[in-house]
A and B are shown apart, each in its own frame.
Chain A
Amino acid sequence: MDAIFQMVRGLWVTCKRLVWRPVTVQYPEQRPQIYPRFRGRHVLGRHEDGLEKCVACGLCAAACPTGAIYVEGAENTEAERYSHGERYARLYQVNLLRCIFCGFCQEVCPTGAVTLGSEFELARYSRADAILCKEQLLAPKG
C-alpha cells in the first residue's frame, strides 16, 4: 500500500514536470543571462578621453592569491602617453589558467582599471593562449 502511494507520488512529480517550461538554456545558440556581479574575464578600463586607467601600480598582482597577474610599468612621455600621470603599464598579463576569479584585483585597484567582466568563454587551444596581454584585456576605445 505504502509502495503504491510512493509510486503515485513519484509519477505525480513526473507528470507535473511534463507540462513545465524547460529551464536549460540552448547554449551556444541561446545566450545565457549574465548577472551584474558575475566575475568573468578581466577588462582594463579606459577613461572617457581614451587613456588607460591602469597606472601599473602592481597592487592587483600583489593581491592576487594565485600569482596570475604580471604588471610592468614604464614612464609616459609627451610623445607617447597611455595614461594620466607619469606611469603606465608597459606589460599587463593575466594567466587565465591560474586565475580563480576571486575579484581581489578589482577590489584593490586604486584607479578602478581592472574589472572582472562578463566574458566567460575562456577555453583556449594552447596554454600560451591563456595568457592574455594588455591589448587583449583593454576595453575598446570610445
Chain B
Amino acid sequence: MPFSEAAQRELQEIIQRYPDKRSAMLPALAIAQREQGYLTPEAYRWVAEALDTSPTWVASVASFYTMLRKEPAGRYLIQVCTNLSCSLLGAKPLLDHLRQRLGIDVGETTPDGLFTLTTVECLGSCATAPVMQVNDRYYEQLTPERIDEILAGLRREAGTCGDDRTAEGHS
C-alpha cells in the first residue's frame, strides 16, 4: 500500500523543521502508522528513504516504542492502565473482566477484528483512576458494569456507522 500524497507532503514539511533529517524519525513513524494502522517493513523503507538512513535503523527505533504498533490492531484498541493508582483502585480485576468479556488475552485481538486489548503504563489521569483508553478516547472511573456498557456501546457503534478510522497513531 503506497503512502498518500498528503502523508508525503506532511513528512517533507516536518523534515524541514530539523537541522538533521533523522531527528524527524518519530513524527515520520507516527505518520506511517496513521497511514497504515501499523508499521510494516515497507513503512520503515519509506521513512528511511525520506530521512536518508537505513531501514534497519528505523525499524530499530520503532521497536523501542510500544505505542508504535508492529501488528495490525482491531478496530478498537483498548489500553488499560495498570500503573500504581489504577492498580490500587482495581485495574487488575477490571482487566480480568475485560479478558473474560472479550474472550482474549492481553495483546490479542478478537476474532471479529473489533477489539485489541493491551495494558499501558500510566495514562496520566490518576485522579480519575482506574482508566482505560479506547483509540483516542479516555474512559475513567471504571467499574465492571461501566465496562460492559462501554463495550456494548462500541459494538453498537461498529454495527451502525460505516468506515470509522481504527487504531489511530498516538503522536
Judge A-B direct contact (beta carbons within 8 Å).
no
B: residues with CB less than 8 A from A are none
